[in-house]
Structure 1
C-alpha cells in the first residue's frame, strides 16, 4: 500500500493544491511591488543625479557661467531658447522638484512599510496555516490508521457473515427436509384419519342396521306378546301385596294393552275372581308386571328413534325456564379489578351461580355469586390472544371462547387447560356460541366467514362465506343469526346452504341477543340505538334511544332481561341504561364504579343480578 506522502495519493494532491494557492497569492502580491520598486529606484537615481548637478552648478564667487555650457536642463528648455534661466531660478526649480521627489519617496517608503507589515501578517497567517496543515496531516494519518483497522474488522465480519450464511443455508435445507417429512406425515395422518372416519362411519352404519333389525324383531315380539296378552285372562287377588300395583293402575294398564271389548270382559272376570282365594298373587303380579314392561319397552323404543349416526343419542337441551319477574338493579353490590387489562366479555352460566369473564390478558376467570359477592372460582388458561366472547353450553359444564388468535378455545369447567382448539379462521374470531346441544357450536370471524363446528370431532362441519366480517352470532332451533359490519343482520338456515333473510340496520351491528322464547331479537349498533326485531313478522318492533347513550366500540354487547320485559346496555361514559320493552321508554340509568366505556353486560337467568365489565379492568355486580 502507498505511503502517506507518495505521489498520486489524495494527501499529495491536496498538498500540491495548497502550494499552488500560496504561489499564486505570492505572485499576485509581488506583482503589486514589481512596478513600485523600479519606479522608486528610478526616483532615487534621478534624485541623486539632480543632487550632483546641483553641486556642480553652484556658482563660485565672481565666476561667470560660460554660455556654451548646456546641461540636461537646458535640453529640456529647448535648443531654440535664446535666454537661459538664472541659477536662482534653476535652484528654486530644483528645490521644488526635490521636495516633490522627497514627498514621493516618503509616500513610497510608507507604502513599502505597509506592504512589509502586510507581508509579515501574511507570513504569520502562512505559519498558522502550515501548523494547521500539519495537524490535519496528523489527523488524516490517524483517520487512515482507523480506516485500515475498520477495514480489517469489516473483512472479519464479512468472513463471519459468510460462515453464518453457510450455516443458515444448511439449516434451511435441513428445515426444508423436515417440512417435507412433516407434510408427508400430515398427509399420512390425514389419510389415516379419513380411513378411520370412514371405518367408523361404516361401523356406525352396520351398528345402526343391526339396531334397526333388533328393534324390528323386538317390535314384532312385542306385537306378538300384546296379541297374546289381549287373549289371556288376567285375575287379581283380593289382598294384593303393598308392592303390587293398585286396582286402578292395573285396570288402566289392561285398557291400554288390550282392546276395549276385551278389557271389559277382563274387568268382569276380575270382579268375579276376586272371591276366589285359591289364585296366587304372585302369578297375577307377574302377568301384570310383564304387561307393564312391554308397554315401557314400546315407549323406550319410541324415545330411541332419534339416535345419532354413531349410535349415541344426541342430547338436546330445552330452553331454560323463563324468569317470571326480573328485578331491576339499583346499586353496585361488588366491584372487582378482575383482569390485567380491559375486560371484553361476560356471561352467566345456566344455573345463575357461575359467571365467566374474558379479557385482553388472554385469561378467562370463573366466579361464583355467593351472598351478593363475587368469589373467584377458577382461571382458564391457554388462549392465544385476547378474549372477545365467552359462552356456556346448555349443561353448564363447558366454556367456549372466541379469541384474536384466529381460533376458538373450548374448556371443561374444572380443568384449567384448554380441551380443544377450533382453528380454521384466517382472522380474529369475534363471536363463539353453543347451539342447543353441547356438541355443536357456531363462530363468526373478521375473515368474513361463519363456521359451524362438530365438537365431537373438533372439526368444522360447515363454512358460510359472507360479504362483510361478522361481529356477533346467536343460534335458534334451526337458524343462525349473524350481525355484520356492513349494517346488516343475516339469517341462515342450519339445514340449508343459503341466507334466508337480510334485515338492514342504520349502523354497524355490534351485538345480538335472542330472547328465551326465540321470538324476539335484540340488536345493538354503532348509530347509538338498540332495536327489538319480531322474528315472527320479521320487522322492527321497538327502537331504544337515550340522551347520553353511546355505543363505544364494535364489540359493545346488549342483552334482554330473562323475562324479556327489559333491555340492558352499557354506554361509552360508564353508565348502564335499562329500557322497558313494552313502552320503549328509558326505565332507569345506573351510575357508579365505571369510569370508562362499558364493553359488555349480562343478566342472570334467575333475574336477580346484573354484571357489567369495562375497559378499565372492572367487573361490577349489580343487585
Structure 2
C-alpha cells in the first residue's frame, strides 16, 4: 500500500508537470500561431514555385527537341515555320508566367523578411517575458521569505501581547484593589477627622465649662469675702434720678433669671438695703451678660452688613439713564456693591474701574490696576470693601477699595481663571478655571485649602451655605459639598453652561447656556423648573452672564444682537426687550440690590445704565 501510495504520489506530480508544460505551450503557441500559419503558406508557395520551375525546365527541353529535328530535316519549310510560331507563342506565355512568378516570389520574399523581423521581435519579447518571469519568480521567493518572517514576527508579537494583556489584567485587578483600599482609607480618614473634630470640640467645651466653673468659684469666694458685713447705701433724695437708676437695675435683673429682683428704684437709705444673696445673684447675672457679649462676634463689617439695602419689589428698567465708554476694549464683567452705590467693571484691557452711581449717572471713581490678564469675573465681598477679580493670566486678584492697592494675588491654576466668588464670609473664596479644577481659598492666608478636579472646563461657580455649584463646558452643572470630597449631584443641560446665578433666598439657580435658553433650577429638588427662550435671543459668547432680579421676580440676560431680554418668573413669559443702545453683543448684566437700576456691558466698550 505504501509503495502504491508512493507510486501514485510520483505519477501525480509528473502529471502536474506535464499539465503545466501543456498550458505553457498552449499559452506561448497562441502568440506565434499567426506566424506559423504564414510560414506554412510561404513554404507551400515556395514548393509551388519549385514545381513550376521544374515544369518550365522540362518544357524548355521539349522545345529544343523539335528545333533539332527541323535543323536535321532538309525538306518542308512550312511545318518548321508552324512549329516556330507555336514555340514563340509558348515562349511568350511562359515568360508571362515567369514574370508573374517572379512578382509572387518577390512579394513572398518581402513577406518572409517582414515575418523574420516579426519573429525576431517576438523572440525578443519572449526573452523579455522570460526575464521578467524569472525576476517575478525571484520576487515571489523574496516575498514568500518575508511573509514567513512576518508570520514569525506576528506570532512573537501575539505571544508578547498575550503576556502584556495578562500583565495588564493583573495590574488592573491590583489597581481595583488599591482603589478600594484608597477609598476605604479615605472614608476612614474622613471618619477619623470627624471624630477628631468632635473630640476637640468636646474637649474645648469641657475646658470652657471648667474655666467658667473656676471663674465663678473664684468670684463667689471674692463676693463672700466682700459681703461679710451689711451693705448700706446712703443717697440724698434730691440727687437720685429714678430714670438713671432704674434702667441698669432692671437690665441686670432681666438678664439674670427672668425674675425682677427690684420692682422700684432706690429712694433713700432707710428704704434700700441689699442682702448677700441678692448681691451675688446680681453679680452673677452681670457676669453672664458680659460673657455672652464676649462670645459674640461683632465688628465694623457686621455693622456695615446691616446697612445693605433690601429689595421688596424690583423696578423694571425701561429707559437709558447713562452711557459710558468704560474701557479701551471689550468689557467682560460688571457688578454692583452691596450698598448699590458703587459699580465695578472689568475688561480685556486688564483694568477694573469703579463708578459712583448717583442721580441716574455713572461717575468714574477710581481704577484698580495690577492684573496681568483680561478680567473675566468681578465680585464684591459682603462688606463692599474688597474686590475679587479673575483673569486670563491664571491668577485671581484681590484689592482693597479704600487704598486702591492689590492686597493679594492668588496663584495656582494652570489655565485661564473664568470665575471667582466670595463664600459667606470675606475670608473665603472659590474659583473656577479652564484647567478643569475648582479651588477653595483661605484669603487670610492667601493659600488654596482645597482643589476639586473636574473632567471639563469650568465656566462659572456660585456658593450656597455648604455647597459649591459649578457650570461646565460639557453641558453639566455639578454640586460639591464643601465638607466632603465628592460630587453630590449632576444636572445635565442642553448646551454649554456660560453662567450661574443663585437667588438671595438660595432656593433657585439661574443657568444660561449656549443652546440660547435660560433654565431655572429648583435647589430643593435639584431639577429644572422653568426654561426661558425667545425668538431673536442668541447667547453671544461662552461667558455671557444672566441674573435674577433682587426680588427673584424676573430673569435678565443680554443677547448677541445688543438687546436685553427680561422674563417674568411667575408667568414664564417674556416681559420686555430693551434695545437701541448696544451695537455689539452684550456680555454681562447687573441688577443693583435695591432693585432700582440695571447695568449692561458689551463687546463694544460700552456701559449702559438703565432706569
Regarding TM over 0.5, the answer is: yes
Partner of 1:622: 610
| Alignment counterpart, residue 211 of structure 2, candidates 211, 217, 220 | 217
For the Cα contact (< 8 Å) 2:255–2:285, is it kept in 1? no
Partner of 2:597: 609
Partner of 1:520: 508
1:246 positional shift: 2.2
Secondary structure of the residue aligned to 2:406 is coil
1:253 positional shift: 3.7
Q: Whole-Å Cα distance in 1 between the matches of residues 231 and 525 of structure 2?
A: 57
Instruction: Show structure 1 runs of 5+ residues with no match.
Output: 1-205, 308-312
Q: Whole-Å Cα distance in 1 between the matches of residues 566 and 339 of structure 2?
A: 23
Q: 1:364-417: per-residue Cα shift (whole Å, max 9, x none)?
A: 100000111000000111111101001101110111111000111111103334
Partner of 1:300: 293
Partner of 2:155: none
Partner of 2:518: 530
Secondary structure of the residue aligned to 1:468 is coil
1:352 positional shift: 0.2
What is the count of residue pairs matched by the alignment? 403
Q: Decide whether aligned partners of structure 1 residues 223 and 246 sit closer, same or farther in structure 2, where only a CA change above 3 A counts.
A: farther
| Alignment counterpart, residue 399 of structure 1, candidates 387, 390, 393 | 387
Q: Whole-Å Cα distance in 1 between the matches of residues 336 and 462 of structure 2?
A: 16
Secondary structure of the residue aligned to 1:495 is coil
| Alignment counterpart, residue 453 of structure 2, candidates 465, 472, 484 | 465
Instruction: Show structure 2 runs of 5+ residues with no match.
Output: 1-199
1:561 positional shift: 0.4
1:259 positional shift: 8.4
1:222 positional shift: 3.6
Partner of 2:469: 481
Partner of 2:256: 257
1:226 positional shift: 7.7
Q: Whole-Å Cα distance in 2 between the matches of residues 403 and 210 of structure 1?
A: 42
After TM superposition, list the pairs within 5 Å mapping 1:74-473 onto structure 2: 216-222=210-216, 240-242=240-242, 244-246=244-246, 250=249, 253-254=252-253, 256-257=255-256, 277=270, 279=272, 290=283, 293-303=286-296, 322-473=310-461
1:291 positional shift: 5.2
| Alignment counterpart, residue 581 of structure 1, candidates 565, 569, 578 | 569
1:508 aligns with 2:502: no
Q: Decide whether aligned partners of structure 1 residues 273 and 448 sit closer, same or farther in structure 2, where only a CA change above 3 A counts.
A: closer
Q: Decide whether aligned partners of structure 1 residues 214 and 579 sit closer, same or farther in structure 2, where only a CA change above 3 A counts.
A: closer
1:257 positional shift: 2.5
For the Cα contact (< 8 Å) 1:234–1:287, is it kept in 2? no
For the Cα contact (< 8 Å) 1:316–1:437, is it kept in 2? no
Q: Whole-Å Cα distance in 2 between the matches of residues 436 and 449 of structure 1?
A: 21
Q: Whole-Å Cα distance in 2 between the matches of residues 438 and 605 of structure 1?
A: 18
1:497 positional shift: 1.0
1:592 positional shift: 1.9
Q: Whole-Å Cα distance in 1 between the matches of residues 393 and 552 of structure 2?
A: 34
Secondary structure of the residue aligned to 1:419 is strand
Q: Decide whether aligned partners of structure 1 residues 245 and 460 sit closer, same or farther in structure 2, where only a CA change above 3 A counts.
A: same
Q: 1:76-131: per-residue Cα shift (whole Å, max 9, x none)?
A: xxxxxxxxxxxxxxxxxxxxxxxxxxxxxxxxxxxxxxxxxxxxxxxxxxxxxxxx
For the Cα contact (< 8 Å) 1:316–1:436, is it kept in 2? no
Partner of 2:544: 556
Q: Whole-Å Cα distance in 1 between the matches of residues 436 and 302 of structure 2?
A: 30
1:536 positional shift: 0.9
Q: Whole-Å Cα distance in 2 between the matches of residues 316 and 465 of structure 1?
A: 36
Q: Decide whether aligned partners of structure 1 residues 273 and 513 sit closer, same or farther in structure 2, where only a CA change above 3 A counts.
A: closer
| Alignment counterpart, residue 590 of structure 1, candidates 578, 596, 607 | 578
Secondary structure of the residue aligned to 2:499 is strand
Q: 1:257-307: per-residue Cα shift (whole Å, max 9, x none)?
A: 2586xx6xx55xx779968636489x9999897455313223125436x99
Secondary structure of the residue aligned to 2:430 is strand
Q: Decide whether aligned partners of structure 1 residues 490 and 274 sit closer, same or farther in structure 2, where only a CA change above 3 A counts.
A: same
1:443 positional shift: 0.6
For the Cα contact (< 8 Å) 2:252–2:285, is it kept in 1? yes
Partner of 1:571: 559
TM-score normalised according to structure 2 size: 0.60
For the Cα contact (< 8 Å) 1:345–1:599, is it kept in 2? yes
1:436 positional shift: 1.1
For the Cα contact (< 8 Å) 2:372–2:391, is it kept in 1? yes
Secondary structure of the residue aligned to 2:461 is strand
Partner of 2:195: none
Q: CA RMSD in A?
A: 3.8
Q: Decide whether aligned partners of structure 1 residues 227 and 560 sit closer, same or farther in structure 2, where only a CA change above 3 A counts.
A: farther
Q: Whole-Å Cα distance in 1 between the matches of residues 403 and 266 of structure 2?
A: 64
Secondary structure of the residue aligned to 2:424 is coil
Q: Whole-Å Cα distance in 1 between the matches of residues 519 and 418 of structure 2?
A: 21
